[in-house]
Structure 1
Amino acid sequence: MEYRIVGDSCLDLTSEMKKEGKIKIVSLTLQVDGVDFIDDDSFDQKKFIKAVADFEGCPKSSCPSPEEYKKAFGEDEVTTFCVTLSAELSGSYNSAVLGQRMVEEEFPNKKVYVFNSRSACIGETLVALKIQECAGKGASFEEIVEQVEDYIRRRETLFVLENLETLRKNGRLTGMKAALVSVLNIKPVMMGTPEGTIEQCAIGRGTKKALKKMIEEVGSRVSDFENRIFGISHCNCPERARYVKEEVEKRYPFKQIIIADTAGVGTLYANDGGIVIAF
């Protein structure tokens, strides 16, 4: 089956995936103090991090239009799968669904399916890789949809951030949690829920202890390591990502571990030094 994969720009690509060019990215736009940053190949992570740090207000993101998704899906009959940010965190999913309806009205024989990843960053990446895996095994359109939706229900996403201010300002956390982080150096381990929202699952005093707590959480959540890919997204902290990779390798026999740097949307919410894992 000929197919294509489309993802919004919160889907973090590894360097190998960028070279392969098999996943088409549709860009979100980030706004900081009246300046727009397009989340595409021109995105300057360090410049953006500085802009956010210097801005006292709340940076925002805007999702791609349905027309942009329609264009990415293609004006042909190639089967297309799309992976978006959690519908609970962004309007990207709903915009993609509208784009799907538009392209299917124009091309009735075209098959399009939009996956609500119920996650972000590397969590989206793993969904795209699952689509590739199923298609590579010769699964039909319907089988891919069923198997990937089941995978999304079982996949876990955890993260530790140095700074929770952007999540707090955007209403994703309570002010109390953000204050604890800044005043007491308490770093919460956050998790994505099956519904696509964010909850706290553990805490550590300092980043190193929080990362250890997060790694311990992995062992309590899965047992079929050999059948899973473990993914790491990092925001401008490759050494921290390598530390997580090495510690996970010592403890758990995942079939593969991948690392990606956050693109613009991931950088917006993870902030400098943030780590996101999915498995």
Structure 2
Amino acid sequence: MSYKIIVDSCGELFDDMKADGRFQSVPLELEVDGYHVVDDESFDQLEFIRRVKESRHSPKSSCPSPQRYVEAYLGEAEHVYVVTLSSKLSGSYNSAELAKKLYLEEHRAKQIHVFDSCSASIGETLIAEKIQESEEAGKSFEEVVAETEKYIKDQQTFFVLETLETLRKNGRLSNLKAWVAGALNIKPVMGATPEGTICQLGQARGMTKALDYMVNEIVKRTKECEKKILSIAHCNCPERAKQVKEKLEKLAKFKDIRIVDTAGVSTMYANNGGVIVAV
């Protein structure tokens, strides 16, 4: 059976995925002080970071419309899989589900499943790769869905941010807490709950100690590392991502570790210097 894997643009795609016609990214849109950006190949990360830093207001994102998803469902593929960022953080999942309903009212010749990643960024990427692995192994549509849903339940996401400004501007953190954290150079180590919300796992003074804390948490919480693929997304800090990779390799043997730069939505939330890890 032919298949297509659709990922909303909060999920970073590796170059080999971009070159594979079976993968498609559906873009969200970003806005800061009237500056509108479509989160696709035209996204200018450095320009967006500059505008966010200079703005007093919170940057905003809007999820893809159902129509965008309907258009993505078109084509010859008989199995269509969609991976969206956590439904607790965005309306992308609901939009994709509504599009599925609308599409199947007119076209009934294919199977479509929408996955709530309960994650974001590189977490979505790993889920998309899991779907492809199952499809390439010759599994049925139902088996691919079941295996991927299990993978999502077992997946873990971690991140450390250089700055709390975007969280503060979005009202997710009080001004006082953000100021104290900034003044004392406190870096929270964050993660995703099984339901797909954000939680704090710990904190440390300074980015180096915070990354060390995150690395130790990853190794402590990950079972059978040698069977797991781990991926790192970084916002404009490739050397920092490389250091995280090297620290992980010293403590555990993963099946593979890959690094990618953040696209638009992840850049908005991670901000300059942020590091996101999923396994």
Would you say same fold, with TM above 0.5? yes
Contact kept? 1:77, 1:109, Cα under 8 Å: no
Match of 1:22 in 2: 22
1:1-279 mapped onto 2 (5 Å cutoff): 1-76=1-76, 78-279=78-279
Measure, in 2, the Cα distance between the counterparts of 1:95 and 1:214. Answer: 33
Amino acid at match of 2:253: P
Measure, in 2, the Cα distance between the counterparts of 1:161 and 1:12. Answer: 18
1:1-38 deviation line (CA, Å, top 9, x unaligned) = 21000010001112332333432001111001011011
1:55-95 deviation line (CA, Å, top 9, x unaligned) = 11111000110000010011556210000010000111110
Contact kept? 2:3, 2:77, Cα under 8 Å: no
Tell me the SS of whatever aligns to 2:152.
helix
Contact kept? 1:27, 1:64, Cα under 8 Å: yes
Measure, in 2, the Cα distance between the counterparts of 1:233 and 1:77. Answer: 29
Measure, in 2, the Cα distance between the counterparts of 1:172 and 1:8. Answer: 23
My pick for the range that moved more, 154-163 or 246-255, is: 246-255
**Cα distance change of structure 1 residues 129 and 176 upon mapping to structure 2, 3 Å threshold:** farther
Contact kept? 2:39, 2:263, Cα under 8 Å: yes
**Cα distance change of structure 1 residues 198 and 174 upon mapping to structure 2, 3 Å threshold:** farther
Measure, in 2, the Cα distance between the counterparts of 1:176 and 1:17. Answer: 42
Contact kept? 2:18, 2:24, Cα under 8 Å: no
TM-score w.r.t. the length of structure 2 is 0.97
**Cα distance change of structure 1 residues 176 and 129 upon mapping to structure 2, 3 Å threshold:** farther
Tell me the SS of whatever aligns to 1:196.
coil
**Cα distance change of structure 1 residues 128 and 176 upon mapping to structure 2, 3 Å threshold:** farther
Contact kept? 1:9, 1:265, Cα under 8 Å: yes
Q: Which runs of 5+ in 1 are unaligned?
A: none
Equivalenced residues, count? 279
Measure, in 2, the Cα distance between the counterparts of 1:177 and 1:153. Answer: 32
Contact kept? 1:168, 1:174, Cα under 8 Å: yes
**Cα distance change of structure 1 residues 87 and 176 upon mapping to structure 2, 3 Å threshold:** farther
Tell me the SS of whatever aligns to 1:254.
coil
Contact kept? 2:64, 2:95, Cα under 8 Å: yes
Measure, in 2, the Cα distance between the counterparts of 1:174 and 1:78. Answer: 48
Measure, in 2, the Cα distance between the counterparts of 1:205 and 1:158. Answer: 17
Q: Which runs of 5+ in 2 are unaligned?
A: none
Runs of 4+ with deviation above 6 angstroms = none
My pick for the range that moved more, 201-210 or 7-16, is: 7-16
TM-score w.r.t. the length of structure 1 is 0.97
Amino acid at match of 2:214: M
- RMSD over aligned CA atoms reads 1.3
1:200-246 deviation line (CA, Å, top 9, x unaligned) = 00111000000000000012111211221101000000000100111
Tell me the SS of whatever aligns to 1:56.
coil
Measure, in 1, the Cα distance between the counterparts of 2:124 and 2:177. Answer: 26
